Amino acid sequence: MEPKNLTHVSKFFLLGLSDDPELQTLLFGLFLAMYLVTVLGNLLIILAVTSDSHLHTPMYFFLSNLSLADISFSTTTIPKMLVNLQTHSKSITYAGCLTQVTCFSLFAFLESLLLTVMSHDRLVATCHPLHYLVIMNPRTCGLLALVSFSISLLTSLLHYLMMSQLTFCADVEIPHFFCDPPQLVNLACSNTSTNNLLIYFIGTILGGAPLLGILYSYTRIISSILRVSSPDVKYKAFSTCGSHLSVLCVFYGTGIGVYLSSTVSPSPRKGAVASVMYTVVTPMLNPLIYSLRNKDIKSALWRIISRIA
């Protein structure tokens, strides 16, 4: 069979997480609930930060940006999966698949960079508290958010260009619940050595560099906290940083795990299940962790509810 160009392939087939009809019904309910929690929780954080003047600080500015990225990240993959589960269809159009690849790359890298910026914000707040508002002024915060988005956008466009050059022998069955770039590259009929090299290079740079920055920031933060004599100050500092670290562990732990396992011993279905952690669970956990463990957010939400009541 002659290879066909990607632009001539009418559709792909997303095999999803399971072929069991009964399990698919359970998965539909579970992922619908998780998606609603993700959207509503992150919208509440954005509403609280924008409407309460007490939260107009650098930390909450970046948190609202992270919430917006979380909503977009989840919306890239979950709605299409829910439609396929409900209609018992596995197909996705060429345009839809390419859109998923582009948006997934954009918001995945944006989330990674925003988490890095937030760790830097906590480093400045902990190690330079007297100069915090001078260093993290509105101009600097806006510039950091803009640079993070610009880098993510350029990277997603590069992924789009790489995927658009691939050729396939037939309609492709993707062992995943969304169009994952490495899966598409593995299933292509054309020579993909350059694509693989670029994907792993970009993943290493934009995944490894932020992680190293986060580790550096929290190494300095923890060493600074340990030098404080007051137990109350130590507890408050560790409590604030603990919520951020828990999100980082889930996001980077599962992401790096899937990335490394795909290079050592490829197991598409296991990789798809593991991908649920950083594509679905992490965006859902962010509003729960930052709201339930944050007195300022809870106070702002109560003030909003009181005004409405």
Q: Long-range contacts made by residues 295-303, C-beta under 8 angstroms, separation at least 24?
A: 296/54, 296/55, 296/60, 297/45, 297/48, 297/55, 299/54, 300/48, 300/49, 300/51, 300/52, 300/54, 300/55, 301/44, 301/48, 303/52
Residue 281 token pair? 């669970």
Q: Which has more confidence, 126 or 134?
A: 134
In three-state secondary structure terms, 85 is: helix
What's the mean per-residue pLDDT of the chain?
82
Q: What pLDDT band is residue 3 in, cutting at 50, 70 and 90?
A: very low
How far apart (Å, rounded) are the C-alpha atoms in residues 46 and 63? 8
Characterize the bridge pairing of strands 11-14 and 91-93: antiparallel
Looking at the structure, give the CATH architecture of the domain made up of residues 4-308: Up-down Bundle (1.20)
137 has pLDDT over 60: yes
Number of C-beta neighbours around residue 161 at 10 A: 11
Q: What pLDDT band is residue 5 in, cutting at 50, 70 and 90?
A: very low
4 has pLDDT over 50: no
pLDDT at position 2 is 43
Domain boundaries, the chain: 4-308
265 has pLDDT over 70: no
CA separation, residue 78 to residues 38, 122, 131, 179 (Å): 11, 31, 42, 12
Q: What pLDDT band is residue 263 in, cutting at 50, 70 and 90?
A: low
Lowest mean pLDDT among 99-103, 132-136, 236-240: 236-240
Q: Which has more confidence, 168 or 261?
A: 168
pLDDT tens per residue across span 45-72:
998 899 888 888 898 999 999 999 999 9
Averaged pLDDT for residues 34-53:
90
176 has pLDDT over 80: yes
Whether 97 contacts 80, CB under 8 Å: no
Locus of tokens 């959207």: 39
Beta bridge partners of 173: 13
